[in-house]
Amino acid sequence: MRNLLVELFVEELPPKALKKLGEVFASQLCAQLRTLGLASADSVATPFASPRRLAAHITHVAAKAADKAVQQKLMPVSVGLDANGLGTPALLKKLQALGADVSDPTAAVASLRKAPDGKAEALFYDSLATGATLDVGLQQALLAALAQLPIPKMMSYQLETDCELPGWSSVNFVRPAHGLVALHGDTVVPVKALGLTAGKVTQGHRFEALKSPVVLENADVYAQTLLQDGSVIASFGDRRFAIVQQLAQAAERLGPGFEVLMDEALLDEVTALVERPNVLTCAFEAQFLDVPQECLILTMKANQKYFPLVDTQGRLTNQFLVVSNISPADASFVIGGNERVVRPRLADAKFFFDQDCKKTLATRVAGLDKVVYHNKLGTQGERMTRVSAISHGIAGLLNANPAMLVAVETAARLAKTDLLTDMVGEFPELQGIMGGYYARHDGLGADIADAIEDHYKPRFAGDSLPRNATGVVVALADKLETLVGMFGIGNLPTGDKDPFALRRHALGVIRMLVEKDLPLGLNALLNASANEFKSIASFESGRAVVDLEEFVNDRLAGSLREQGYSALEVDAVLALRPQRLGDVPRRLAAVRAFTALAEAPALAAANKRISNILKKADDVDAHVSTLLLQEPAEAALYAAMQDVLPQAQAQFEAQDYTAALQTLAALRAPVDAFFEGVMVNAEAMDLRLNRLGLLKTLHIAMNQVADLSRLAA
């Protein structure tokens, strides 16, 4: 057992895919070697990935896999042996195909083993399969691992050596490969891949390697040798950590008022662009700070891969950090070059902003009629007319005052107008954000500006909700319009495909209804939204409401389970399809408190029994005649209900769901006594209906907060 290193040296790999490529290469190579018996369950695969290499270090790899006993069933004895006990032609042919020596048929048959196989007896051939050698096994594992790589886009290039037709033989891979290393301890494993033969030589940093080529003495000195001789930090994680440290140190050197905007995705991308990072501090002209900082931050991060610096209040400064791949003694040329490159980008952003400010958002409304939203749902102008109507309806349900109604109408009408601006045309990620800036520039006030900016929220899991009530109404209307419209034309998410982000929109609706505790019914919202699509021929209102309500409840159930509620608790509450989603957390808390009571299991079981009884009865009225209460147990239950149910109902109507369920827990003893001493399905029809009515009354009262039968074991 020795450690194994495999490295593939290539041209610059796609940075956004590098981390995943390195991880998959190492894990797949190790998995393939385990399958072949060359790596053990204790073997550890360490991935390495830099802009010009993928590598894996795997511990405890054998030079040869252990031989393995193989047992193969041949055929039933009745088929394989004749009446004299000699092998039949079919048996001898099978043995020959397996590589057994059949020169002496009698001896070959005598070596077989007989064993029961079901009702009959069968012949088994026991042999010893020779374990794979590392030379053969690694070749197989390497080709399989390369085939499993999640390559975003394949390249095709021609080989010049080690191929049948130099200059014509083609290879398909993510980037042209130029070197292959395979070391088992200090021994080269002579495998081949992508037209390359493995050795122990690789290349270091393109410009700063101390030695070229870099010779690897054994598998365990890979990272150390590359760092010392090749000036390369081979580990993706180590390189990323070095960048984070250097960024923090650079900000600290500037003073306590500077903080780095540490974007995780940008960190990964920059880590994939450099082999040995060197962080430098640069600056741009302060006049560019007049442009909204989101524009400058986005252009620096997305276009230039720079790290912006902000002050302690989160305001952008005119200094930024660059992660360079070289470390010259005089870095002024690198700094100056980066400052020259970013200046035109910032100038473009300033130009777009200045040009956009020359037109108000209101003057852009008419232009939305020329922008197609969806070929079945019309233009953005038609869409915003629907959003405005839905917003107005929601505001009315919330008893909004006249000022808020005007603000909601204005924000809804202008919410999408920034799509027509130059800035959003260049940076689509800024839609909504720029609308807020332009609304403030137009003097529309903070309430409307914040609502326009926030109407896309929540944009992602964990994002904040709109800051004010106007923003909540418009955001809710915008998401409902999208959901109802897409469901109404049958444009539903499937599997992992959700091009219109309907799952995210549904979760956004849920979060606003729950976290803002809005007194709005889900079904009423969907129906009101569907009414705005009446003029569209291909729109199916039933599908938009029924299917969408189910979709929203499914998303709600998943979200609640992620928050730590049990499947039983969630199922019990959502089985009632509560229309006011803001009630759901209170109902869940009540159910959780109820399940902790000693009476809960018995009451849940009794409730399940009552549900089953009522399912078999037709049209039972929740009505009880005291004249027909003949058995002491049913009279006692009715008396207890008369005492308990009014109190529980008052608590339920006050939304004190926990107290309501705890009050109902007092019915456990009379309910148990009822089922022990009363025959529900009495022969006399009037007695039977009265007892069913008693149970129906109890069932309604017990299941207002949640379906307690779902809690029964």
Q: Which residues pair with 73 in a beta bridge?
A: 124
Would you tell me the crossing angle of helices 446-454 and 402-414 to the nearest 10 degrees? 50
Rounded to whole angstroms, how far apart are CA atoms 97 and 112?
A: 15
Tokens of 310: 């902000």
Sign for the pseudo-dihedral over CA of 482, 484, 487, 489: negative
Q: Which residues pair with 473 in a beta bridge?
A: none
183 and 138 together in one domain:
yes
Q: Is 2 exposed, middle or buried (0-12, 13-18, 19+ CB in 10 A)?
A: middle
Residue by residue, DSSP assigns 678-702 as --SS-SSHHHHHHHHHHHHHHHHHH
How many helices (DSSP H) and strands (DSSP E) are in the chain? 27, 20
Q: Which residues pair with 55 in a beta bridge?
A: 7, 48
Is 643 in a helix, a strand, or coil? helix
pLDDT confidence band for 161 (50 / 70 / 90) = confident
Rounded to whole angstroms, how far apart are CA atoms 88 and 77?
A: 10
Tokens of 46: 């360490």
pLDDT surpasses 80 at 459: yes
pLDDT surpasses 90 at 239: yes
pLDDT of residue 107: 84
Taking the CB of residue 131, how many other CB atoms lie within 10 A of it?
15
More confident residue, 87 or 57: 57
More confident residue, 100 or 58: 58
125 and 137 together in one domain:
no
Classify residue 163 by its DSSP letter. S
Residue by residue, DSSP assigns 417-467 as GGGGSHHHHH-GGGTTHHHHHHHHHTT--HHHHHHHHHTT---STTPPPPS
Tokens of 354: 């200045």
Q: Is 656 exposed, middle or buried (0-12, 13-18, 19+ CB in 10 A)?
A: middle
pLDDT of residue 215: 97
Most confident of 62-71, 305-314, 687-696: 305-314
520 and 418 together in one domain:
yes
| Cβ pair 131, 66 in contact under 8 A | yes
534 and 441 together in one domain:
yes
Tokens of 281: 């501090």
pLDDT surpasses 70 at 640: yes
Tokens of 538: 């291909």
488 and 628 together in one domain:
no
Taking the CB of residue 152, how many other CB atoms lie within 10 A of it?
11
Tell which of 181, 215, 230 closes a domain: 230
The alpha carbon of 546 is separated from its chain's Cα centroid by a whole number of angstroms, namely 26
Q: What percent of the chain has pLDDT over 70?
A: 100
pLDDT of residue 162: 75
198 and 245 together in one domain:
no
Secondary structure, 3-state, 368-384:
HHHCEEECCCEEHHHHH
pTM: predicted TM-score of the whole model, two decimal places: 0.81
| Cβ pair 496, 503 in contact under 8 A | no
Tokens of 487: 């469901």
Residue by residue, DSSP assigns 173-190 as ESS-EEEEEEEETTEE--
Q: Are strands 68-76 and 120-129 parallel, antiparallel or unpaired?
A: antiparallel
Mean pLDDT of the chain: 93
Residue 570 lies in a domain: no
Rounded to whole angstroms, how far apart are CA atoms 293 and 359?
A: 20
Q: Is 641 exposed, middle or buried (0-12, 13-18, 19+ CB in 10 A)?
A: buried
| Cβ pair 679, 574 in contact under 8 A | no
- Full residue range of the structural domain in which residue 595 is found: 585-711
| Rounded average pLDDT over 261-268 | 94
Rounded to whole angstroms, how far apart are CA atoms 178 and 12?
A: 11
pLDDT per residue as tens digits for the range 376-397 = 999 999 999 999 999 999 999 9
Sign for the pseudo-dihedral over CA of 116, 121, 126, 129: negative
Rounded to whole angstroms, how far apart are CA atoms 633 and 687?
A: 14
Rounded to whole angstroms, how far apart are CA atoms 590 and 248?
A: 47
Q: Nearest CA to 1 among 61, 71, 70?
A: 61
pLDDT confidence band for 619 (50 / 70 / 90) = confident
Number of separate domains in the chain: 5
pLDDT per residue as tens digits for the range 343-354 = 999 999 999 999
Phi, psi of 286 (to 5 degrees): -65, -20
Most confident of 122-136, 161-175, 261-275: 261-275
Residue 304 lies in a domain: yes
Residue 364 lies in a domain: no
pLDDT surpasses 70 at 166: yes
Q: How does 108-124 read in b/e, with b if 16+ C-beta sit within 10 Å? A: bbeebeeeeeeeeebbe
Q: Nearest CA to 33 among 65, 67, 69, 68?
A: 65
226 and 290 together in one domain:
no
Classify residue 115 by its DSSP letter. E
542 and 402 together in one domain:
yes
Residue 474 lies in a domain: yes
CATH number of 440's domain = 1.10.3210
Residue 367 lies in a domain: no
Tokens of 219: 């598998």
CATH number of 653's domain = 1.10.730.10
pLDDT of residue 713: 67
Phi, psi of 170 (to 5 degrees): -105, 150
pLDDT of residue 540: 92
Across 375-414, the runs of DSSP E, i.e. the strands, are 378-379
Cα 131 to Cα 127, 189, 322, 537, 674: the distances in Å are: 13, 17, 52, 68, 72
pLDDT confidence band for 69 (50 / 70 / 90) = confident
Tell which of 502, 532, 564 closes a domain: 564
More confident residue, 355 or 160: 355
637 and 511 together in one domain:
no
Rounded to the nearest 5 degrees, what angle is found at the Cα of 523, between the Cα atoms of 395 and 392? 15
146 and 272 together in one domain:
no
- Give me the residue label for tokens 């031989």: 67
pLDDT confidence band for 39 (50 / 70 / 90) = very high
| Rounded average pLDDT over 104-114 | 85
pLDDT surpasses 70 at 111: yes
294 and 442 together in one domain:
no
Rounded to whole angstroms, how far apart are CA atoms 557 and 561?
A: 6
Task: Please count the residues of the chain.
Answer: 713
Q: Nearest CA to 183 among 88, 287, 57?
A: 57
pLDDT surpasses 70 at 359: yes
| Cβ pair 481, 378 in contact under 8 A | no
Cα 154 to Cα 48, 142, 157, 197, 598: the distances in Å are: 21, 18, 10, 21, 64
Is 114 in a helix, a strand, or coil? strand
Q: Are strands 316-324 and 307-310 parallel, antiparallel or unpaired?
A: antiparallel
Residue 340 lies in a domain: yes
pLDDT surpasses 90 at 585: yes
Residue 576 lies in a domain: no
Q: Is 423 exposed, middle or buried (0-12, 13-18, 19+ CB in 10 A)?
A: buried
Tell which of 129, 153, 179 closes a domain: 129
pLDDT surpasses 90 at 70: no
Query: In 519-631, which residue ranges form alpha helices assigned H by DSSP?
Result: 522-530, 541-542, 548-562, 567-574, 584-595, 600-616
Residue 365 lies in a domain: no
pLDDT per residue as tens digits for the range 133-146 = 999 999 999 999 99
Task: State the number of CA atoms in the 13 A half-sphere of 501 facing the CB.
Answer: 15
pLDDT of residue 497: 87
Cα 550 to Cα 460, 523, 579: the distances in Å are: 22, 10, 12
419 and 537 together in one domain:
yes
Is 215 in a helix, a strand, or coil? strand
pLDDT confidence band for 85 (50 / 70 / 90) = confident
